[in-house]
Structure formats: C-alpha cells, structure tokens
A and B are shown apart, each in its own frame.
Chain A
C-alpha cells in the first residue's frame, strides 16, 4: 500500500498488469476482458489467440442490457462463438485520437441499438470478411470457397478448418473491405434470441466495479453541497469551523455554487460538510414554490401564444358544433431520477495529465466536461467509463464530472473521489419536467370524437439542455406521443385536432427522465380518452378502436393487450380493468391493468404489456426492461414527487421520495411483438403506458378520476 506509482495511464497499465490488485487498486479499464495487445481486426472486434472475442461497445451499460444487445448485433455478422464473447469500452480519448471510429457514445433516448444497428453489424461483418480472407490467403484458395460459423472457418472443397484466433493476426493486416453486405433479417441466428446478459456473475458476487468503487493509491474522499436554490451561489463559508475535524484535509469552493470537503474517508468528509456553515446567495428564485409554479402553468391554458405541433381541421369550429364537450385539466410533477448509485466521479489532476473515472451515459460529453474543467488539451485528458448503478437520464449530465475535476485541480497529484450523498442527489437533480394539460374534446351525437384540443403548459427540456434542437423556439420533444408523424406519433385520427404548448420554464433544472415526455403525455391523453368514452357511453377499448383505423401498429399493440387481459370476458369479482396505448422512441406500446381498490389501498394484480419495436434483438431482456420500467413508472405514479419550497426541492432521501418494493410489484406479462422493418427503442417507451392503464382501472373501480399525480396526494397507497 505504500507503493505509489505515478498516475499516468502508462504507469497504470504496467503497474497493474504486473502487480494487480495486490496494490489495492481497482482499475476499471483493466479487466480480464481487456484486449490489450491482442490483434484488433477493426475498431469493433479484437480476437485473442485463444479465440476469445472482445467486442467493443461505445454505448454505456446501465442495466438496460445494451452491452449484451450490441454484442449480439456484432456477433451475428461476425459469426463467432457466442460463448467466447467478452466486451470492453473504448475510451472517449481513444475515440478522439482515432477520429471517432465508434460513432456516438451517447446512451439516452433508447437509442443504444436503434441508431447504431447498421454500423455495428457492419463492424462485425467486415471483421468476418477479413478473418475469412486471411484463412483463404493462408490456404491459397478463393475466398468464395470458404465460410465461417461459430469462430471456425471452413474451406468447403477440402474440409480444412481453422479458427478465428489462429488467423486473427493475419486478418488484422488485411485492408478493410469497402462493400460490406449485411444478412437478411430472416437469416439472423443470434439477433432475436434471448441470450443471457454478459455482465451478470460479477453483479452477484460484489465484484462488479461501479464509479463509487474506484480506488486509487493515495486517494482522498470528497463530498459536496451545492446551493439548494437552483441558480444561487456561494456567498461565504467558514472553513475554520471544520478544518480541524478528524480526517479533514481541505475545504474547497467548487465553481460558483458549491462547497466540498476533502477528507481521508467519505464519512469524515460528510460529517464535516454537515457541520460546515455556508451562506448562500439564493437570489429571486428563493421565492418560488410548487404552488407558484402551478399557478403559472395554469395561466398557460388560456395563453394566446402557443407552439403548435399537430393541427388537423378546425378545432375551434369543431368544438363549437359538437353535441357534447368534455374538459379536463391534468398535472404532472417534478421527479428525481434517484439512481440507486448516488452520483460520483474520481479524478486526478496534474498540469500534464487529468484522468477521470465515472459512470456516464455519455462518454464523449463526460470527456468534454473533463477537458473544460481541467483546461488541458484532449491529448492530456482521459476518461474511463465504469459500470453505472443506474442512469435513467441523470447520468447523461456531466455536472458531477466537472465538480470532481475542479476539486482535484485544487489538490494536484492527489486522486479525489467525489461522492454525492443521497440528499445531494435528491436536491441537485435534473428533474422530470413539470407540465399541466387542459384537454377539450367534442363528441358528435353518435359518441364519436370529432374534435380534440390538447393544450400543454409547462417546461421544455430542450430549451434548458439542447437549445440547438428547438425549432423556431418550439420544443418538438414536448409533444412525444402527440406528434403528427415520426418516432412518437399520435395513434388516433380525429377530424379536428390541435396539440399546442405554452412553454413556461421554471428555474428548476429539467432533465431526461426514463421515458421523458411520453410519461405525462400518455397519462393526459389516455386518461382523457377514457373520460371521453365514458361521456360517449362507449367501452373505452371500442372508443379507441374507432379512431385507429389508420394506425394499424398502434392498434396492433392495443389489441394484443386487450386479448392478453381478456377484455371481452368479465374480470374476476372486485377486479377492474384499464387500458392505454402510446408511441415513443419509434416503438408502439400498450398496457392493460387489473386492479382492486379497498378503501384507500390499491392493489395491481397484473399488467399485460405489449411492445412492437420493429426488431427485437433480445426479447428476454426487453421483457425485463418492461417490467423493470414499470417499477420506476409506478413508483412515480404513486409516490414520486419533488415539491419546491423557497426555491429548493423539499425531498431529501427515500423516506420522503419512496420507491415501490417487491410486495407492491404487480405480475407483468409481456408481449414482445416485433413486426419488422423498423428499429424502435426498448428501454423507455413502455414505461408510459402502465400509469394510465392503472389510472383508468382505478377509475373503473372507484368512479373517481384522478388527474394529478402522485396518487399519495389523493390518499391512495399501493399495496
């Protein structure tokens, strides 16, 4: 433990390769799967002499299974032995140095597979062609006489065989093919198969290394407090009050809005930070409350200016001439991601090297944050990705990476592990944005929906995080599932339709939160569909079907869950049903729920869920994403709310921001029904249909309509 090599990457590789864990390091980029030194066929594929296949994955694994799914895509075309596959992450620094051969590292928006399926499969196919080419050259036979399967190359006429491991070195010298044909989907053997995840064993033994587990020689621990009122700043802090406390090494300001304590253990750092007097300059935002935000949003219902996403016919005239009209107002609160692993990053800084380790959903953005915070050029910065203890959108932000580097810069040469407390994590989120919605529907005398106005009012994520993606000031993502066309299109044909948005951006920072804008929009639209059906006196499923003639894929998943739940048969005594459908991230999703309500206790007996993601790479993992996302979505439906008081978030930990437990988990039955021809996401979309299906079932059971969440505010508890 006294041995302390210099912390350049080279030394690290050498030091750990020889001494390994005996020095007490946990060095994430050097795992048993490391491809160091083995022949690289191309950027995606490294084959070791023992036939081990190392597949490089640019996207981040955070539980959603993308590591396994992407490896399946490469392996399908590579024709390698799946049992010999391991994976590794290239670093963003390598990506820069090699001119970005791996494309986008960003892992959000359920894009991991659907936006890289083409080039990762080509990576696998090209590598296979080179391996086969190397074997053919060695045998001096035409390539066309050779084939590959299961990491074995066979020369058909002679029956000779060799393995990938034996020809890898030669293959690495061959020029990459220009034309790389891909298999017809009907010939896939591995894509579409529910193979097990590649990263499970270490997650059952405590060996898996997350950011929080990084250990470096001489490392100190830090924890941080940023101004609880967003936009506020540090006015002063009294370091002398805590500097003498046990283990404390340094008290530092971090940027303009935060203070950190560095100590010999995290507990010492936390104890001292809790005792540190800090004076904040909170500014005007300290006057904001949940009530003031809600009032402002409600004013948006009648605002003249609104961004129009979807307009068909003439809603005003249609509503004026409707036989019956229905109006309802809904609200959706702020929610914290609450990743199981609190945010953290480890950094070591010297004037000629800055190295950072952290779990991130976006390696390139995290690298850029480290560059900026360190002030060093790209050649002197490296960022190492480690396993994420959950991301859900929060780890797509890089604030914690910046902070770690800014602290490390104030103690050059000393590795600093910054770990947020859960309380900091709860109070410094990038929250599911707050919106409210007024829906006005007009029915004709036969009970058909002829006019619908959906007026959204509230916060735009893109304005805060990606202003370049706004379209003339409009945030197109706000309309997820309500748009006329595209990857999140509405599934109902209404003769007069208007969907518009009065944008109102409170000071609380918004972020992408698993499912993002489909969460509230599905609740608004699908609850309201039931309200309309009730007024029309039509069965909610039938009411929807009448509007869906031109939307066969939306209808397909809706029908599937209706069948699955047994909509045409009576529910068991005391059990009531609700149904919902939506579209997001290119996938069509639906759910049907069965609940019973006893006083204020709600029991969800089962949810049947369907998704049509076009292609399903790993149905078993998709099922896990669906049932897993329901835990997240139902936690939000019943408990998840971040309220604002004096400009700050009131919730501090899981006692005030509860997450459902196994006893509250409904049985989830998944129908994965890929119809082919398109690539939709699977990590997020389905989350949005569970809450409206459950809400509709609760209304069926109680006759009451709940138009704001979480349901705990209405006295309802999930049991």
Chain B
C-alpha cells in the first residue's frame, strides 16, 4: 500500500511503486481531470502540483509521490469558487477542445505563485505545454489578466 495525499485527502493505493503517478490518479483513484497526452513528459497535459511545484505526473512514479502534497486540477477551486486563473480562463474564453487546459492551468497556477507578475519572457520560459488547438494567444492574455486580478 502506498499513501498519497491528493487535494488534502489521503488515499492508500495498492499498486506497484513504479507505476506513473498519472495512471494512479486517473485509473486507481478515478480523478480524470488530469490528462494523458504523451506519457513521456513532453506535452504537459498531466501536470499536477507536487509540494506546490508543477510536475508532469506521467514522468513521476507513484512511489516517489508518496508522502508529498499532491494537487490536481480538481483541487484548485475552493468549494466551487474558481481561482483567479480559472476565472481568467473563463473570462477570456481560453479553452477550445479543453483537453490540454487542466495541465495548462496547473502550470500557470504554479508560475503565478512563484512570479505573481510574470513577463512575457517568464511565460515563454515556464509554460511549455502543448496545445494542439492552439490557444496560446488567449492563454497569454489570460495569464496577464489573472496576474492583475
């Protein structure tokens, strides 16, 4: 049994310790907001926070995540109240298909915690998620809007 703390709740899971965290979150625990896009830490769809840091959960084993504070997209909104980032996303109509957006929002939320007023250069460096629909123009606008909110 491995103990995980996700969005403040603890879960014990009976899986091999080398299972990628992504699949434990999705299939074992059943929280599907965190997405699979590549499985090789390239696309960022699976981004979660590990002790506050944006982390691609397909590239981390569940064994390594044990005992750490894990936050998924489901853990952002507090009792249905959207975070500033989520609100900016709604305000600027960012998502198209939306599939990459959980990961995008997690990456952006971590960035804003570290740099509350990021420059375009900061954004370029920190946000390396793939979005095949191509929402980047709105993503950038919404990041700046969230920083101002």
- CB-based contact A203/B101 at 8 Å: yes
- CB-based contact B97/A340 at 8 Å: yes
Q: Does A653 contact B (CB under 8 A)?
A: yes
Complex CA distance for A317 and B74, rounded to whole angstroms: 69
Q: Does B82 contact A (CB under 8 A)?
A: yes
- CB-based contact A661/B93 at 8 Å: no
- CB-based contact A422/B38 at 8 Å: yes
Chain B residue nearest in CB terms to A205: B77
Complex CA distance for A668 and B43, rounded to whole angstroms: 23
- CB-based contact B93/A205 at 8 Å: no
- CB-based contact B98/A203 at 8 Å: yes
Q: Does B5 contact A (CB under 8 A)?
A: no
Complex CA distance for A210 and B40, rounded to whole angstroms: 21
Q: Residues 165-204 of chain A: 1 if any B CB is under 8 Å from the residue's CB, otherwise 0?
A: 0000000000000000000000000000000110111111
- Beyond A212-B32, A215-B30, A663-B125, is A204–B101 a contact (Cβ under 8 Å)? yes
Chain B residue nearest in CB terms to A687: B134
Q: Does A213 contact B (CB under 8 A)?
A: yes
- CB-based contact B36/A212 at 8 Å: yes
User: Which residues of chain B are near A65, meaning CB under 8 Å?
Assistant: 96
- CB-based contact A338/B93 at 8 Å: no
User: Which residues of chain B are near A206, meaning CB under 8 Å?
Assistant: 31-34, 72-74, 102
CB-CB contacts below 8 Å: B55-112 with A: 72-74, 76-77, 82, 86, 89-90, 93-102, 105
- CB-based contact B33/A654 at 8 Å: no
Q: Residues 98-123 of chain A: 1 if any B CB is under 8 Å from the residue's CB, otherwise 0?
A: 00000000000000000000000000
Question: Considering only CB atoms and an 8 Å cut-off, how many residues of chain B contact the other chain?
Answer: 59
User: Which residues of chain B are near A246, meaning CB under 8 Å?
Assistant: 16
Complex CA distance for A210 and B98, rounded to whole angstroms: 10
Q: Does B37 contact A (CB under 8 A)?
A: yes
Q: Does B130 contact A (CB under 8 A)?
A: yes
Of the candidates A205, A388, A629, the one having the most CB atoms from chain B within 10 angstroms of its own CB is: A205
How many residue pairs bridge A and B at CB < 8 Å? 186
CB-CB contacts below 8 Å: A387-412 with B: 387-392
Of the candidates A207, A266, A267, the one having the most CB atoms from chain B within 10 angstroms of its own CB is: A267
- CB-based contact A340/B45 at 8 Å: yes
Q: Does A243 contact B (CB under 8 A)?
A: no
- Pick from B28, B43, B139: contact of A340, CB under 8 Å: B43
Q: Residues 662-673 of chain A: 1 if any B CB is under 8 Å from the residue's CB, otherwise 0?
A: 110101100000
CB-CB contacts below 8 Å: A410-466 with B: 419, 421-422
- Beyond A199-B98, A265-B23, A627-B137, is A632–B132 a contact (Cβ under 8 Å)? yes
User: Which residues of chain A are near B99, meaning CB under 8 Å?
Assistant: 210, 339-341, 389-390
CB-CB contacts below 8 Å: B113-129 with A: 123-125, 127-129
Complex CA distance for A392 and B96, rounded to whole angstroms: 12
- CB-based contact A390/B93 at 8 Å: no
Complex CA distance for A338 and B130, rounded to whole angstroms: 11
Complex CA distance for A422 and B41, rounded to whole angstroms: 12
Q: Does B3 contact A (CB under 8 A)?
A: no
- CB-based contact A200/B89 at 8 Å: yes
Say how far A121's CB is from chain B's closest CB, in angstroms: 24
Q: Does B52 contact A (CB under 8 A)?
A: no
User: Which residues of chain B are near A207, meaning CB under 8 Å?
Assistant: 33, 74
Say how far A653's CB is from chain B's closest CB, in angstroms: 5
Q: Does B10 contact A (CB under 8 A)?
A: no
Chain B residue nearest in CB terms to A215: B30
Q: Does A655 contact B (CB under 8 A)?
A: yes
- Pick from A208, A342, A628, A662: contact of B36, CB under 8 Å: A342
Chain A residue nearest in CB terms to B23: A267
User: Which residues of chain A are near B95, meaning CB under 8 Å?
Assistant: 63, 197, 199-200, 203-204
Q: Does A64 contact B (CB under 8 A)?
A: yes
Which 5 A-B residue pairs are closest in the complex by CB-CB distance? A206-B33, A631-B134, A203-B98, A389-B99, A63-B97
Give me 10 A-to-B residue pairs in the complex whose CB atoms sit less than 8 angstroms apart, sorted by A's number: A200-B90, A206-B74, A215-B32, A265-B15, A341-B37, A389-B97, A422-B39, A628-B137, A653-B42, A661-B128
- Chain B residues proximal to chain A, CB less than 8 Å: 15-16, 19-20, 23, 26-28, 30-40, 42-43, 45, 72-74, 76-77, 82, 86, 89-90, 93-102, 105, 123-125, 127-140
- Chain A residues proximal to chain B, CB less than 8 Å: 24, 26, 62-65, 196-197, 199-210, 212-213, 215, 221, 246, 265-267, 338-342, 387-392, 419, 421-422, 620-621, 624, 627-632, 653-655, 659, 661-663, 665, 667-668
Please give 20 more A-B residue pairs, beta carbons under 8 A apart, in addition to A204-B101, A206-B74, A265-B27: A62-B97, A64-B96, A200-B93, A200-B95, A204-B86, A205-B76, A215-B32, A339-B99, A340-B132, A387-B98, A620-B93, A624-B138, A628-B96, A631-B132, A632-B133, A632-B134, A654-B43, A661-B124, A662-B129, A663-B123
